[in-house]
Structure formats: structure tokens, C-alpha cells
Amino acid sequence: MIKLVDVIAHLDEFLAVDKVRDYCPNGLQIESTTEVNKIITGVSANIDLIDAAVSRGADTILVHHGFFWKGEEPTITGVKGGRIRSLIKNNLNLLVYHLPLDIHSGVGNNALLAKRLEVTVEGGFGRAGNIDLGIYGRLATKLSAVDLQKKIASILGRKPEITGSSDKLISSVGICTGAAQDFIEEAALAGVDAFISGEISERTPHMAKELGISYFAAGHHATEKFGIQALGEYLAENFEVEVEFIDIENNA
């Protein structure tokens, strides 16, 4: 078996956790056992993922979205209380990597989506401290908004919503997965023709139209599956541990 402390130390260094100011604690959030034999990875720490981990005899769950978000109710009650009780009752550790996983150049959500879209990354935007939360670059081939929509859908298995400008060919795109719709202005300032993220707000269509770019709302969950899968595969390659990704259905 592998020591939990060794896995945490390795991931914290690999993802450069100490360089990122986040909205939640990264690394170990719930500790139940000191050794790691089987890891279940998934996008979010919901009860369905926890139940799946229990049924597969796992001792550790590794996710992108965990608990203890900045500004949330700190008490261990309600849904969060039920999830945490189930983790502890079933001797499951919970490891969480949020922004450090989004921005990682190798296994990050942004980088992996860009790679699948055949985007050559040229720079970043969405500054937070000393890091950029988003990336931008050029498509291998110019595409219409509809053709880019089809390409994104084929990659994510989910048709994105398009808003804003849609009558010009797209050669450059900005990418910031998840709930990054409010980086649209910064993406436009980077000179892109389109911005791809996960969610859409009431204000987003107006911003896209007035900025003269296309906005693609491709799904929070859908745009953030690749990173946690890749991180699990990385662990399996570097530690003698079994890792399984479980995708809990989520259309948001």
C-alpha cells in the first residue's frame, strides 16, 4: 500500500498548490485512513460518487470539487453533513484539487480541452495573483460558430449554447472551464474571436454581443472531466495504486 502523506506531498508539488490562491482548501479535506490502495476519481464529491467508491472497495476519492468553499455555511449539516458522514463512516479519504488542476499545463482542464480542440496556446488571461486562470490561442483551422459548436459537442458529448457574435469565422479562442463566464471581457481584450467556458449568466449574452465575440457555454461538469481523469491516470503511472474514474451524470 501507498502512504496517504506521500500521495498528498507528490500531488501538492506536481500541481504547485502553494502558488495558487483558491476558494477552497486544496489537498486533503477529509482524512479517514493513512494508506491508499484504491482511488476513485470524479468531478465532484456528491453522494452518488461516494456510494460508488464504497461499492468498489476504495479508500480514497480524488475530485475537482470538494467542500469548504469560501463564503459557504461552515457547519457540517444538511447535504454536506451527510456526505462527510458517509466518507468517515466508510473510511474514505477525500482529496481535492480545484484551481491548481484547472490551470496545470499538463493535466489541467483548460490545457486538455485546448489540446482536443487543436488550439495552439499563445498566452493567458483572467489574472488572479501571479497566475492566469484562462488560456487563449489559435485553432488549427478557422471554423464557423456552428462548426466549432459541433466540434465541441463531439468532444464533450454535449452541445454547447452559443450567444453573441456568430457570423464570422473563428480563428482564435479563449478557454476557461467551469463557471468562468465573467472572464468574457478579459478574453475579448486578449483579442480572441470566441470564448469557451462552462456556464452562462443573464448578463453573458449582452456582454458577448457588445464585445463582438462568440460565447460557448459548454457545461461546467462537461468542461471539467478531462483534468481529474488525467490526474488519476498520472497517479496510476507514478504509484502502485489502482485508480478508476467514475463519471456521475450531470447535464449542468
Q: Are 193 and 170 in contact (CB under 8 A)?
A: yes
pLDDT of residue 225: 98
Does the pLDDT at position 129 exceed 90? no
> Quick one: which of 112, 236, 80, 242 has its CA closest to 177?
112
- Please give the grid coordinates belonging to residue 64: 475537482
d(CA 127, CA 134): 8
Tens-place pLDDT, residues 65-86: 999 999 999 999 999 999 999 9
pLDDT of residue 231: 98
Tens-place pLDDT, residues 136-166: 999 999 999 999 999 999 999 999 999 998 8
